[in-house]
């Protein structure tokens, strides 16, 4: 059965960067292998940033090289600049995301760059990627971070988000992603932004969103995104994650809860929910002092639950 919604697992990057205990490389590989076996087909496994900034992700190149050996898995990584992008390409990553904060205050905190400087960096990244042969060129996505609001600046004008989306697409980014970094978004706002970006850039330039559940809006926003035709949703196993440079930015959507929501609606994710919950148990055992979240793992699957791929009447 074809997958209706692609769930991109970001726990290995967005999740791990927000916690203190460093997960050993072999444990990361075991997590990736187990979640791949459960049916996950896209994972953001790390970030190419200086190890002194985020020691948790210092082994990203090794983790990428391992993950790219798993069949059918799209391996993604975050980069802050051209230097990181070059390292990501050298590792063989399939998809690269560069975060471009719509709040300039957050941009300076996160990338140490103004909006104008980030635009220049994106242009340099595209210029480098254009020198690569097709088989070596990864997909290049610009994530429009704090697109729904910022804990440092407050409201972010929607017209600004749409204008910058159009600008980075014109520069040569393959696609953009709307990111609710601080969990400010609501379904109506999501609808306006998705329609505005698609009108400005083309529907094929926006097929993914990165949502947080900081204020309990995560699944409502995910459902709204699906109804708008979004086909890729980011989430984190156990809901761990957040941005260290945005105070209060906690709470990714819980992958287990998202899979349950979609599968119970008859939308196929390709993920075996029972196997995914077993992956969660392994990760919890490896990180015993880290709190994992999620309603479905706590309550269990309801009697008679059948996933979307179950052909039974």
Q: How far is CA 169 from the centre of its chain?
A: 19
Query: How far, in Å, CA of 296 to CA of 281, rounded?
Result: 13
- Whether residue 137 lies inside any domain: the answer is yes
- pLDDT attached to residue 242: 60
Q: Is the separation of the CB atoms in 252 and 221 below 8 Å?
A: no
- Whether residue 308 lies inside any domain: the answer is no
**Residue 280, both tokens:** 């969660």
Task: Let me know if 251 is exposed, middle or buried by CB neighbors in 10 A (0-12, 13-18, 19+).
Answer: buried
Q: Please, which residues have CB within 8 angstroms of residue 312's CB and are 6 or more apart in sequence?
A: 306
Question: 84-114: per-residue pLDDT in tens?
Answer: 999 999 999 999 999 999 999 999 998 899 9
> Sorting pLDDT into bands at 50, 70 and 90, what band is 1?
low
Question: 229-247: per-residue pLDDT in tens?
Answer: 999 999 999 999 865 444 4
Buried/exposed 284-312: b ≥16 CB within 10 Å, e otherwise: eebbeebebbbebbeeebeeeeebbbeee
* 201 flagged as catalytic: no
Using alpha carbons, select from 268, 302, 273, 218 the residue that is nearest to residue 1: 268
- Whether residue 311 lies inside any domain: the answer is no
- pLDDT attached to residue 241: 80
Give me the mean pLDDT over the 115-133 stretch. Answer: 97
Using alpha carbons, select from 158, 159, 122, 127 the residue that is nearest to residue 141: 122
Catalytic residue among 74, 125, 150, 243: 243
- pLDDT attached to residue 247: 45
- Whether residue 306 lies inside any domain: the answer is no
Q: Is the separation of the CB atoms in 212 and 253 below 8 Å?
A: yes
The pLDDT mean for the chain works out to 94
Place of tokens 């900081």: 214
**Residue 205, both tokens:** 């330039």
3-class state of residue 96 by DSSP: strand
Query: How far, in Å, CA of 206 to CA of 191, rounded?
Result: 13
Q: At residue 178, what are phi and psi to the nearest 5 degrees?
A: -85, 125
Domain with 189 in it? 6-299
- Whether residue 285 lies inside any domain: the answer is yes
- Whether residue 312 lies inside any domain: the answer is no
Question: 31-85: per-residue pLDDT in tens?
Answer: 999 999 999 999 999 999 998 889 999 999 999 999 999 999 999 999 999 999 9
Place of tokens 């009108």: 199
Q: Domain count of the chain?
A: 1
The CATH number of the domain where 128 resides is what? Answer: 3.20.20.70
Query: How far, in Å, CA of 61 to CA of 122, rounded?
Result: 21
Using alpha carbons, select from 265, 263, 237, 269 the residue that is nearest to residue 252: 237
Q: Please state the pTM of the whole predicted model.
A: 0.95
């Amino acid at each position: 059965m074809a997958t209706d919604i692609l769930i991109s697992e970001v726990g290995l990057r967005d999740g791990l960067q927000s916690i203190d205990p460093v997960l050993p490389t072999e444990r990361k590989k075991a997590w990736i292998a187990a979640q791949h076996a459960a049916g996950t087909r896209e994972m953001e496994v790390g970030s190419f940033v200086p190890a002194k900034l985020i020691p948790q992700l210092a082994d990203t190149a090794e983790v990428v090289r391992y993950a790219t050996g798993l069949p059918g898995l799209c391996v993604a990584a975050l980069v802050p600049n051209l230097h990181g992008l070059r390292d990501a390409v050298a590792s063989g990553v399939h998809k690269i995301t560069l975060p471009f904060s719509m709040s300039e205050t957050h941009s300076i905190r996160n990338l140490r760059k103004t909006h104008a400087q980030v635009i220049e960096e994106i242009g340099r990244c595209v210029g480098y990627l254009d020198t690569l042969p097709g088989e070596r060129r990864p997909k290049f996505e610009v994530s429009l971070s704090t697109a729904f609001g910022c804990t440092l600046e407050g409201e972010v004008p929607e017209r600004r988000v749409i204008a910058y989306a159009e600008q980075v697409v014109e520069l040569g980014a393959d696609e953009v992603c709307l990111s609710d970094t601080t969990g400010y978004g609501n379904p109506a706002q999501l609808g306006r932004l998705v329609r505005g970006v698609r009108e400005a850039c083309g529907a094929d330039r926006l097929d993914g969103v990165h949502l947080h559940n900081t204020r309990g809006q995560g699944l409502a926003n995910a459902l709204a995104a699906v109804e708008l035709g979004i086909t890729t949703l980011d989430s984190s196993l156990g809901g761990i994650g957040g941005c260290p440079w945005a105070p209060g930015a906690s709470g990714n959507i819980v992958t287990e809860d998202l899979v349950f929501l979609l599968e119970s609606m008859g939308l196929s994710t390709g993920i075996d929910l029972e196997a995914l919950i077993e992956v969660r148990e392994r990760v919890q055992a490896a990180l015993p002092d880290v709190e994992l979240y999620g309603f479905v793992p706590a309550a269990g699957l309801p009697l008679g639950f059948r996933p979307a791929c179950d052909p039974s009447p």
